[in-house]
Amino acid sequence: MFPDAWPRFMYGAFGTISAFFLTWLFLKSEKRSVSDIGLVWEPGTPWRFFVGLLIGTSLFGVILLSLLLLTPLQIQFNPQPLKASALVGYLAFFPLSLMEEIGFRAYPFRRLNDRFGIRVTQLIVAIVFALYHVAGGQSIGGSFLGPGIYAFVFGLAAAWSGGIAVPFGIHVALNILQPLSGMRGASGAIWMLSHKESPAAGQAASPDTIGILMQFTVLAIAILLTEYYIRKNADKTIKIAS
């Protein structure tokens, strides 16, 4: 139905509308509104989204810097010109990321958190989020080591901020910066990662090994911060009760 550059954008746009409508139906059946789960536009929403962009950019920057310092990889400008279709592809990450945040970190996350607590909620949502990407065509390993791990980051951001603006910003930043730096091929990339011809001493580590280690480091930090979040909120509950 659409030109070649637009299917992903339209998929994200219709998916976002569908996710919001389905959320509204569930809330209506419970005689609640979208404001009850923080799924409304507020004066601070753009700022929280910007904070998410900064967090996502910083996280990606640390991972990229680790790859450049610890492996034989180098980053260079991509000689291929950026096509208009690539710009549409980057634009598509906004509705695609919003669709996923509404579908995974809004109503379902709140309901699970209310019933089981954030530890179990983080695990359930991470597994389902990874399986969703498997259903979308990604490999099982790539889905669990990528989206499955970052689901813990998005979920923690949603719990801490009380909405999806911050995780939405993190999500957009990570989704855009990966192809922008050539991690998903040369098409549409501004920079490209390539192997140095003669790597310096100490730079013999495999990029795949370092990449996996960084992913598990992100997971470990997200779990530790989740435990800190639980303890901090438990302390607040005790103070209020006393």
Query: Does some domain include residue 96?
Result: yes
Q: What is the pLDDT of residue 44?
A: 93
d(CA 106, CA 20): 9
Per-residue pLDDT of 169-198, as tens digits, reads 999 999 999 999 988 777 778 888 888 776
DSSP category for residue 76 = E
Q: How many CA atoms lie within 13 A of 27 on its CB side?
A: 18
Question: What are residue 153's phi and psi, to 5 degrees?
Answer: -70, -50
Residue 221 covered by a domain: yes
**Domain span at residue 96?**
7-32+44-241
Q: Give the phi and the psi of residue 43 in degrees, each rounded to 5.
A: -55, -30
- Residue 103's pLDDT band, with cuts at 50, 70 and 90, is very high
38 located within any domain: no
On whether residue 64 sits in a domain, the answer given is: yes
CA angle 238, 239, 242 (to 5 degrees): 85
**Distance separating alpha carbons of residues 129 and 134, to the nearest angstrom:** 9
Q: Band of the pLDDT at 201, cuts 50, 70, 90? A: low
Q: What pLDDT, on a 0 to 100 scale, did the predictor assign at position 242?
A: 35
Domain count of the fold of the chain: 1
| pLDDT over threshold 70, residue 158 | yes
Confidence of residue 166 (pLDDT cuts 50, 70, 90): very high
For the stretch 57-78, pLDDT in tens is 999 999 999 999 999 888 888 8
Distance of CA 138 to the CA centre of its chain: 15
The answer to whether residue 142 sits within a structural domain is: yes
Examine residue 130 and state whether it is found in any structural domain, yes or no. yes
Residue 114 maps to a domain: yes
236 pLDDT band, cuts 50/70/90, is: low
Alpha helix positions (H), 136-206:
140-145, 147-161, 165-180
User: Which residue in the block uniquely carries the two structure tokens 């005790």?
Assistant: 238
Share the mean pLDDT of the chain. Answer: 90
> Per the domain annotation, does 1 fall within a domain?
no
Q: 3-class SS at 71?
A: coil
Separation of alpha carbons 92 and 98, rounded Å: 10
